[in-house]
Amino acid sequence: MTRWNDAVNQAGELPDFLYIDGQRVRDALLDVIETHDPASGVLLGSVPAGSRQSIDDAVAAARAALHGPWGDINPRERGRLMWRAGEAIRDQIDRLALVETLDSGKPMRDARAGVERTADYFCYYAGIVDKLEGTTVPLGRDKICFTEKVPIGVTGHIIPWNVPINMVARGLGPALACGNTAVIKPAEDTPLSALMVVEILEQAGIPPGVVNIVTGHGAVAGQALAEHPDVRHVTFTGSVATGKSVMIAAAQHIASVTLELGGKSPHVIMADADLDRAVPDILKAVFSNSGQICSAGSRLLVERGIQDELVTALVAKSEALRLGHGLDDPDMGPLISARQLNAVTGFAERAMQRGIEFASGGKPVIVEGCEQGHFFAPSIALNVPADDELARDEVFGPVLSVIPVDSLEQAIEIGNDSDYGLAAGIHTRDISKAMRYARAIEAGQVYINGYHAAGDTVPFGGMKHSGVGREKGLAALDAYYEVKSITVSL
């Protein structure tokens, strides 16, 4: 335990405040929310449970900044500030990655990659700020008509716990690039990195009020943010149930939403696939971040003839995966919380009660030195009926459901028979099959012969219950500006 306590000490003083209008707010009247290392159970710190009033204050600050300093900065300077912020984040990668690992349980290499991607979001969107051009519309000789992209206003960002620092930057990058201001509500389980990022933005020269953070409970601070009449756009990542309530809250004041709500993504392996390439890819697609990824390839649709060979290889490799504390850079860290561990365990136990066989895993594991950690074994469930809960619902843990299929057509039919439509993958040497699948599958992102191969500059988002709108890349900008047309009669 001492080792983990030493790591917490090494992280230095951790943020314990709300950040509103450039002020660190510590209000003795507010309850606090403790945050723990999910691998060791060690207490990291605590943050205030922001109230409705805290949200009101943060939105008022964001509004004032919109009409004040941020609105006055010319686009080129805004871009420079964002670039500087990105580079400042990169400069602090060691501490940010340490805290992200401690707060979320991720392996250190993933936390470091996450910080790099966070910096990249700021730098990528910094480059577009002075290129957000409008158009001219021909209306004849006696009129001049042109359009401008104008900020939408105060944006609200409700952040999940699975990739906390990235999600902050994923929404903030395009929002700030378009000239908006922001109020962020981090997840209760992982509030620290968002607060650290905002302190770096301050050092980089982003004016007070432009980015505000209110930590707190979803049902209070999150709900208040989505409901706030002065919030013009809400960006939310999380569960379908909470996404619906955010959408309803935003509808009450006609605010737009970007919703990223998870999935049950099909990963198809055809008999002609290169299995040496497919096997590590399948495992990475489902076990990265301990399966706590919205786009995880959690439904494996395998052409029946290669099922035995493939499953044997997958089981051997998954049983060799090393679980441990993120600081030891294991193959897999813990789940985020006891609640999530219970939820994942419940899925596995119910599946077993229905007679589903697990070729590996299917239960929590105790890791030496991390006995308080929320670890679940990498798990492979066989012959899962396509209509079973395990094949339909998002487990959000390291559980792969293997479903045999007889043809590409059947894979497409089963793949599309889902409420979700976030991501999809296929391994085959036949480009025609790959493209037929890519065209037919209902998913926002499709990967051929390499799951998750698209990076953060590629539009990302879901169809059906997986969400509304697109994040990442230039497509993300569309949510953050209004098109205003101005017509002059000569």
Rounded to a whole number of angstroms, the minimum distance from the CB of residue 368 to ligand NDP is: 27
Q: Which stretch binds ligand NDP (CB under 6 A): 93-101, 176-184, 219-227, 404-412?
A: 219-227
Cα(262)–Cα(239) distance, integer angstroms:
7
Rounded to a whole number of angstroms, the minimum distance from the CB of residue 290 to ligand NDP is: 12
188 is catalytic: no
End-to-end CA distance of the chain: 77
Catalytic residue among 260, 303, 394, 471: 260
As given in the structure block, the two tokens for residue 346 are 């419940």
Give the number of residues in contact with ligand NDP, rule: CB under 6 A: 27
Contact predicate 117/160, CB 8 Å: no
Rounded to a whole number of angstroms, the minimum distance from the CB of residue 110 to ligand NDP is: 15
Of 384 and 423, which has the nearer Cβ to ligand NDP? 423
Tell me how far apart the 2 most distant CA atoms of the chain are, in Å: 79
Say whether residue 257 binds ligand NDP (CB under 6 A). no
Say whether residue 50 binds ligand NDP (CB under 6 A). no
Full 3-state SS string of 357-401: CEEECCCEEEECCEEEEEEECCEEECCCCCCCHHHHCCCCCCEEE
Cα(267)–Cα(271) distance, integer angstroms:
13
Say whether residue 461 binds ligand NDP (CB under 6 A). no
Contact predicate 192/99, CB 8 Å: yes
Q: Residues 269-308: x/- map of binding to ligand NDP (CB under 6 A)?
A: -------------------------x--------------
Of 92 and 245, which has the nearer Cβ to ligand NDP? 245
Q: CA angle, 473 as apex, 469 and 476 as ends, to 5°?
A: 30
Helix segments in 260-333, DSSP class H: 275-287, 307-319
Question: Given candidates 110, 394, 456, 471, which one binds ligand NDP under the rule CB under 6 A?
Answer: 394
Rounded to a whole number of angstroms, the minimum distance from the CB of residue 54 to ligand NDP is: 13
Cα(373)–Cα(150) distance, integer angstroms:
47
Say whether residue 415 binds ligand NDP (CB under 6 A). no
Rounded to a whole number of angstroms, the minimum distance from the CB of residue 214 to ligand NDP is: 11
Report the residue closest to ligand NDP, judged by CB: 218
Question: Given candidates 159, 296, 313, 441, which one binds ligand NDP under the rule CB under 6 A?
Answer: 159
Say whether residue 182 binds ligand NDP (CB under 6 A). no
**How many Cβ atoms are within 10 Å of 208's Cβ, its own excluded?**
18
Contact predicate 467/422, CB 8 Å: yes
**Identity (one letter) of the amino acid at 103?**
D
Say whether residue 160 binds ligand NDP (CB under 6 A). yes
Cα(35)–Cα(196) distance, integer angstroms:
15
DSSP string, 138-188: ---TTEEEEEEEEE--EEEEE--SSSHHHHHHHHHHHHHHTT-EEEEE--T
260 is catalytic: yes
Contact predicate 190/165, CB 8 Å: no
Give the DSSP H/E element, type plus range, for residue 25: strand 23-25
**Binders in 68-107 for ligand NDP, by CB under 6 A:** none
Place of tokens 């949200």: 55
Question: Given candidates 129, 214, 226, 270, which one binds ligand NDP under the rule CB under 6 A?
Answer: 226
Say whether residue 255 binds ligand NDP (CB under 6 A). no
Of 36 and 78, which has the nearer Cβ to ligand NDP? 36
Say whether residue 219 binds ligand NDP (CB under 6 A). yes
Question: Given candidates 242, 289, 379, 428, which one binds ligand NDP under the rule CB under 6 A?
Answer: 242
**Binders in 332-351 for ligand NDP, by CB under 6 A:** 343
- Which are the contacts of 216, defined by CB distance < 8 A and separation ≥ 6? 33, 48, 49, 50, 51, 54, 185, 188, 222
Say whether residue 250 binds ligand NDP (CB under 6 A). no
φ, ψ (nearest 5 deg) of residue 147: -115, 150
As given in the structure block, the two tokens for residue 78 are 């805004």
Question: Given candidates 48, 50, 171, 262, which one binds ligand NDP under the rule CB under 6 A?
Answer: 262
Of 88 and 296, which has the nearer Cβ to ligand NDP? 296
| Residues identified as active-site | 260, 294
Task: List residues binding ligand NDP (CB under 6 A).
Answer: 158-162, 185, 187-188, 217-219, 222-223, 226, 237-239, 242, 245-246, 260-262, 294, 343, 394, 396
